[in-house]
Amino acid sequence: MARRIPIFFASDDNYVPYLAVTVKSIADHASEGNIYDIKVLTSGLTEENTKRLASMKTHAIDVEIVNINEAITNHRGSLRKRLRDYYSESIFYRIFIASLFPKLERAIYIDCDIVLVDDIAKLYDIDLGDNILGAVADESIPSVPEFCTYVERWVGVPRNEYINSGVLLLNLTEFRRAGIEKRITELSSAYNFDTVAPDQDYLNFLCRGRIKYLDLSWNKQPKADNPIPVSELHLIHYNMFNKPWHYEGVLYEEEFWRVADTTPYREELRSTLKNYTDGERRQDLEGAAMLVSNAARLTYAEGGFNETLGDKNK
């Protein structure tokens, strides 16, 4: 009997083309004996996008669209309070996986701006012990002093232990036991913490001490100052503004286009790159600067996770 590997995404219509690339990259590296059970958490997709995603099903790839509206209805207001222009509420969908699928013991969550260059089943098979999740320390943090002081003072996590939540191996049994979903929804309502990376900051604070740190090759961002040969990688994460569908010359762009050109969204993705404007690029620069500015502003402000809750999290 084939083994089913549950892999979760969160997407709206805008991100479906990139999601399709990620799904195709999973299929390209699938191993015999596995069924890759793709579940797309969404508040709604067009009929056309739903059909296109369904067309990607194979004997090894299953695709299910999961409407999450009912699950988040009572929490939508509090979760949206601190969202910035560059985030949508979908960043919080991952915290509801454990309750939406109570029979699952473990699962993978990955963002839609990712390309696999190896079999994702290898990630699924990593032993987590009694840790709540496995993740990679965010490589973008140590190189930016404002982010370093923010995560240590505001979030309460050492700079080299602050994880990126775009790739998560979830121990759903321990996630439930620790009450992570309930704690995030209650804290967002009670304290309304200001944050730089909303879901990521909550997960870092609440799961600290119970995270298995994975090798960087499982969440490699296209940082030109820290290249790793593709042959040594498992997964490439085109995080934040390093998007090959917006910019030429992005590290590992060849891997993205190699897959993208074989999806139903090839023409749209090529058009997006061709038509990305200077104004949009300026907005990207402003967005990046705003992230750094917010980190600097919050570093010495009152009311952060660490100051407010501190040892209460233990």
Which pLDDT tens digit goes with each residue over 144-202?
Answer: 999 999 999 999 999 999 999 999 999 999 999 999 999 988 887 787 778 888 889 99
- 14-28, 120-134, 192-206, 220-234: least confident range: 192-206
Q: Which residue is it, tokens 């699962």? A: 107
Q: 201 — alpha (psi -120 to 50), left (phi > 0) or beta?
A: alpha
Q: Please compute the mean of the pLDDT values over residues 109-120 and round it to a whole number.
A: 98
- At 193 the pLDDT is 79
Please spell the DSSP secondary structure of 276-293, one letter per residue.
--HHHHHHHHHHHHHHHH
CB atoms within 10 A of CB 13: 13
pTM of the model: 0.94
* pLDDT tens figures, 46-56: 999 999 999 99
- At 77 the pLDDT is 54
Q: Please compute the mean of the pLDDT values over residues 28-35 and round it to a whole number.
A: 96
- At 185 the pLDDT is 86
By the 8 A CB rule, do 139 and 162 touch?
A: no
Please spell the DSSP secondary structure of 85-115, one letter per residue.
TT--GGGGGGGGHHHHSTT-SEEEEE-SSEE
- At 87 the pLDDT is 55
- Amino acid making up residue 230: V
Q: Please compute the mean of the pLDDT values over residues 225-236 and round it to a whole number.
A: 96
- At 224 the pLDDT is 85
Q: Tokens standing for 65?
A: 């669209």
The candidate with the shortest Cα–Cα distance to 79, out of 201, 163, 170, is 201
Q: Please compute the mean of the pLDDT values over residues 206-214 and round it to a whole number.
A: 97
Q: Please compute the mean of the pLDDT values over residues 305-312 and round it to a whole number.
A: 79
Phi and psi of 38, rounded to 5°?
A: -80, 125
- 96-110, 191-205, 226-240: least confident range: 191-205
Q: How far apart are CA 258 and CA 28, in angstroms?
A: 11
Q: How far apart are CA 89 and CA 91, in angstroms?
A: 5
- At 310 the pLDDT is 74
- At 81 the pLDDT is 52
By the 8 A CB rule, do 53 and 16 touch?
A: yes
By the 8 A CB rule, do 157 and 204 touch?
A: yes
Share of the chain above pLDDT 90, in %: 79
Q: How distant, in Å, are the alpha carbons of 16, 50, 56 from that of 63?
A: 13, 10, 8
- At 76 the pLDDT is 56
- At 8 the pLDDT is 98
Domains and their CATH numbers in the chain: 3-313 (3.90.550.10)
Compare 101 and 306 and report the one with higher pLDDT.
101
Q: In the 8-state DSSP scheme, what is residue 83? A: -
- At 80 the pLDDT is 53
Residues sharing a CB contact under 8 Å with residue 264, sequence separation 6 or more, in sequence order: 20, 52, 55, 56
The candidate with the shortest Cα–Cα distance to 294, out of 94, 151, 102, 162, is 151
How high does pLDDT run on average in the chain?
A: 92
Q: In the 8-state DSSP scheme, what is residue 155? A: I
